Amino acid sequence: MIHKLAQFTVREGKLDSAESAIRAFVSAVKASEPDTVIYAAFKKPDGYSFVHIMSFRDEEAERRHRLSEHAKLFTSALYPLCVEPPSFVDLALIGSNTDSIV
């Protein structure tokens, strides 16, 4: 299983556009990526910063996600709205209340 975290902050005045792009992307992931076990998007209390947590069945699932047409559309819509490019971190699971991401 592969786990990743993405973080980014959108520019003032771009929140509605960013949230619309995020919702469309998450819907596309849900509809077309059965091996993306978890894709969850969260907004931080400041209202402009976001955290996305994702878990993929394997490296191939992560590759398909990264190279998907909906990922390309999402990044082309989102990145211009961001203060700086999103940062990505690989995560190592040390515990979970569900077997679906182990």
For the chain, the structural domain boundaries read: 2-94
Pairing of strands 87-91, 36-43: unpaired
- Is the CB of residue 79 less than 8 Å from the CB of residue 62? no
Q: What is the pLDDT of residue 16?
A: 97
- Classify residue 34 by its DSSP letter: T
Q: What is the pLDDT of residue 101?
A: 76
The domain defined by 2-94 folds into: Alpha-Beta Plaits (3.30.70)
pLDDT mean for each 10 residues of the chain (102 residues): 98 97 98 98 97 98 98 98 98 90 72
Q: What is the pLDDT of residue 49?
A: 98
- Burial class (CB within 10 angstroms; exposed 0-12, middle 13-18, buried 19+) of 10: buried
